Structure 1
Amino acid sequence: MTPHDLTQLTASEAARLLQTRTLSAEALLGACLERIEAREPQVLAWRQYDGASAMAQARALDRGPLRGPLHGLPLGVKDLFDTRDFPSGYGSPIYQTHRPDHDAAAVALCRNAGAIVLGKTVTSEFATFSPGPTRNPHNPDHTPGGSSSGSAAAVGAHMVPLALGTQTAASVIRPAAYCGVVGFKPSFGLISRAGVKSLSESLDTVGGFGRCVDDVALLTSVMANAPQWRQLPVDRKPRIGVCRSPYWDKASASAQQAFESTVRTLAAKGVHMVDVTLADSVAALVEVHDQVMCGEAFKALADERLNHGELLSDRLVAMLERGSRVTFEQSVQHRAQVASARHQLGRGFADYDLLLTPSACGEADLGLERTGDPLFSRIWSLLGLPSLNLPVGVGDQGLPLGIQLIGPMMSDTAMLGFCRWVEQSLAASFL
Structure 2
Amino acid sequence: MTHPADLSATEAAARIAAGTLSPAALAEACLERAAARDATVRAFAALEPARVRRAVAGALPGPLHGLPVGVKDVLDTADLPSQYGSPIWSGHRPRSDAAAVALARRAGGVVQGKTVTTEFATRHPGPTTNPHDPARTPGGSSQGSAAGVAAGFFPLAFGTQTAGSVLRPAAYCGITGFKPSFGLIHRAGMKVMSESLDTIGVFGRGAADCALFAGALTGLDLSAAAHAAPRIALCFGPGEAVLSGDSRARIEEVAAACARAGARVTPFALTAPLLAAVEAHPVVMNAETAHALAWERATARALISPVLNERLDWAESLPVSALIEGRAAFAAARAAFRDLMADHDILLTASAPSEAPLGIAATGDPACNALWTALHGPCISLPAGTGAAGMPLGVQLVAPFGADAALLGWARWVERAIGG
Q: TM (normalized to structure 2)? A: 0.98
Is residue 147 of structure 2 the alignment partner of residue 173 of structure 1?
no
Aligned residue in 2 for 1:220: 214
Among 10, 13, 32, which residue is 2:30 paired with? 32
- Quickly say closer, same or farther: Cα 1:233–1:311, change in 2 above 3 A: same
TM-superposed CA distance for 1:77, in Å, is: 0.3
Among 227, 230, 243, which residue is 1:251 paired with? 243
Letter in 1 for 2:190: V
Aligned residue in 1 for 2:230: 238
Q: Is there any run of 5+ residues in structure 1 with no aligned partner, and where?
A: none
Partners of 1:36 and 1:98 in 2: CA distance: 24
Aligned residue in 2 for 1:19: 17
- Contact 1:295/1:325, CA 8 A, preserved across alignment: no
Partners of 1:294 and 1:387 in 2: CA distance: 22
Q: Deviations over 1:319-363 (max 9, x none)?
A: 111220233322222222112111111111111110111011101
Aligned residue in 2 for 1:367: 359
TM-superposed CA distance for 1:191, in Å, is: 1.0
Letter in 2 for 1:347: D
TM-superposed CA distance for 1:235, in Å, is: 4.1
**Percent identical:** 47
Letter in 2 for 1:187: S
Is residue 402 of structure 2 the alignment partner of residue 404 of structure 1?
no
Question: What's the Cα RMSD here?
Answer: 1.2
Among 182, 185, 189, which residue is 2:183 paired with? 189
- Contact 2:67/2:109, CA 8 A, preserved across alignment: yes
Aligned residue in 1 for 2:252: 260
- Contact 2:119/2:126, CA 8 A, preserved across alignment: yes
- Contact 2:65/2:107, CA 8 A, preserved across alignment: yes
Aligned residue in 1 for 2:68: 74
> Which of 330-339 and 211-220 deviates more?
330-339
Aligned residue in 1 for 2:373: 381
Aligned residue in 2 for 1:326: 318
> Which of 333-342 and 289-298 deviates more?
333-342
- Contact 1:243/1:276, CA 8 A, preserved across alignment: yes
- Contact 2:44/2:114, CA 8 A, preserved across alignment: yes
TM-superposed CA distance for 1:164, in Å, is: 0.5
- Contact 1:15/1:70, CA 8 A, preserved across alignment: yes
Aligned residue in 1 for 2:285: 293
Partners of 1:30 and 1:326 in 2: CA distance: 52
Structural mapping, 1:265-276, within 5 Å: 265-276=257-268
TM-superposed CA distance for 1:268, in Å, is: 1.2
TM-superposed CA distance for 1:52, in Å, is: 1.4
**In structure 2, the residue corresponding to 1:241 is in which secondary structure?**
strand
Letter in 2 for 1:148: S
> Which of 236-245 and 335-344 deviates more?
335-344
Structural mapping, 1:100-119, within 5 Å: 100-119=94-113
Q: Deviations over 1:372-399 (max 9, x none)?
A: 0000101011111110000101111111
Letter in 1 for 2:192: S
**In structure 1, the residue corresponding to 2:152 is in which secondary structure?**
coil
**In structure 2, the residue corresponding to 1:56 is in which secondary structure?**
helix
- Quickly say closer, same or farther: Cα 1:246–1:87, change in 2 above 3 A: closer
Partners of 1:371 and 1:60 in 2: CA distance: 37
**In structure 1, the residue corresponding to 2:348 is in which secondary structure?**
strand
Partners of 1:7 and 1:178 in 2: CA distance: 20
TM-superposed CA distance for 1:123, in Å, is: 0.2
- Contact 1:152/1:163, CA 8 A, preserved across alignment: yes
Q: Which runs of 4+ in 1 moved over 6 A?
A: none
Partners of 2:81 and 2:241 in 1: CA distance: 42
TM-superposed CA distance for 1:246, in Å, is: 4.6
Q: TM (normalized to structure 1)? A: 0.95
Aligned residue in 2 for 1:136: 130
> Which of 331-340 and 119-128 deviates more?
331-340
Q: Is there any run of 5+ residues in structure 2 with no aligned partner, and where?
A: none
